[in-house]
Amino acid sequence: MNDSRTRIMGRLKAALDQRHNPTVRFSGADQRMKSLPAGLIPKRGQAEGPARIAMFVDEAERAETRVVRLGGMAQVPAAAAKICQEAGSGSLKIAPHPDLQGLDWSAQDVAFGIGAGDDLVGLSRAYAGVAETGTLVLRSGADSPTTLNFLPDVHVVVILAEEIKANYEDVWAMLRAAAPDLGPMLPRTINWITGPSRTADIEQTILLGAHGPRKLMILLIDETA
């Protein structure tokens, strides 16, 4: 196996050495990963203020996501209860995130933890949103299990208006700033989610709810609204 590596790398080196000498090549690559040249950010990905929130909602809805605006975090349990009722679910699985654990759930049957195969409704806390395409960004961690993003029939995600960024690059910048001093820069999993699960594999007809959630709902907390 290590021999394979040596041989593959040997062939790459032989081909590349004809273009650049290896020192220049390796320092060129290093330089790029240090300087992190910005990509071309489309104009659509540069919205500010209320226009940014409006674009996020608009693009999310275009991808069949349902957005519910709430005036504060305290309204989340009641909104979630309504969604459970609509889905015919007696219980709610919640990501063990402090923001969600801190709410008053006394009126309903809830459990905190990872996703299970028979969860009807799951509630997660977004890390960020991307206005450009109405995309949610969730990162895995003790407070945000990845399985909860995919197993429930209805996936409900709480996001604060100020967590909505204009473009993907701004979210990478947040993650870079939050990177630990030691260990890997990124969490094990980052999910960009743009709408509910779908497939077009049967005669190219788009159907929602393939293997992931049939419905995706965003609870957008905007205290200024």
Partner 1 sequence: MSQKPPACNDFQLGAKKALDNKRLQAQLARTLKEGFQYKRRKGMSRLPEYDALRDRARDIKNHTLDHLDAYLERFEDEVTKAGGHVHWAETPAQARDIILDICINVDAKTVSKGKSMISEEIALNDHLAANGIQPIETDLGEYIIQLRDEPPSHIIAPAFHISKEQVADTFREHHTHLKAERDLSAPTDLLNEARGELRQKFLNADVGITGANILIAETGTALIVTNEGNGDLTQSLPPVHIAVTSIEKVVPTLEDATTLLRLLARTATGQEMTVYTTFFTGAKRIDELDGPREFHIVLLDNKRSNMLGGPFHDVLRCIRCGACMNHCPVYASVSGHAYGWVYPGPIGSVLNPQLLGIEQAHVLPNASTLCGRCEEVCPVHIPLPDLLRTWRKRAFEAGKIGGLHRLGLNLWAWLAHRPLAYRLVTRFKLRLLRLLAGKRGRFRWFIGAGGWTKTRDLPAPQAANKHGGTFMDRYKRGER
Q: Is 114 in the site for partner 1 (CB under 8 A)?
A: yes
197-202 contacts, C-beta under 8 A, 24 or more apart:
197/150, 198/64
**Chain residues 42-61 in contact with partner 1, contact rule CB under 8 A:** 42-44, 59
**Chain residues 60-79 in contact with partner 1, contact rule CB under 8 A:** 62-63
Question: What does the alpha-carbon distance between residue 205 and residue 218 come to, in Å, rounded to a whole number?
Answer: 25
Q: 54, 199, 223, 225: which one contacts partner 1 (CB under 8 A)?
A: 199
C-alpha pair distances (Å), 97 with each of 62, 102, 197, 207? 28, 8, 24, 32
Q: Is 224 in the site for partner 1 (CB under 8 A)?
A: no
Strand bridging mode 198-199 / 207-208: antiparallel
Question: What does the alpha-carbon distance between residue 199 and residue 201 come to, in Å, rounded to a whole number?
Answer: 6
Q: Is 183 in the site for partner 1 (CB under 8 A)?
A: yes
Using the contact rule CB under 8 A, the part of the chain among 11-19, 50-58, 67-75, 156-164 near partner 1 is: 11-19
CB of 130 to partner 1, least distance (A): 8
Nearest CB to partner 1, comparing residues 53 and 193:
193
Q: CB count, 10 Å around CB of 92?
A: 25
Question: What does the alpha-carbon distance between residue 156 and residue 75 come to, in Å, rounded to a whole number?
Answer: 14
Q: 98, 142, 177, 181: which one contacts partner 1 (CB under 8 A)?
A: 142
CA triplet 152, 156, 158: central angle to 5 degrees? Answer: 145
Q: 25, 68, 70, 99: which one contacts partner 1 (CB under 8 A)?
A: 25
Q: 120, 212, 218, 221: which one contacts partner 1 (CB under 8 A)?
A: 212
Q: 15, 106, 107, 177: which one contacts partner 1 (CB under 8 A)?
A: 15
In DSSP terms, 69 is beta-bridged to 220
**Chain residues 86-105 in contact with partner 1, contact rule CB under 8 A:** 96
Q: CB count, 10 Å around CB of 81?
A: 17
CB of 86 to partner 1, least distance (A): 19
CB of 72 to partner 1, least distance (A): 28
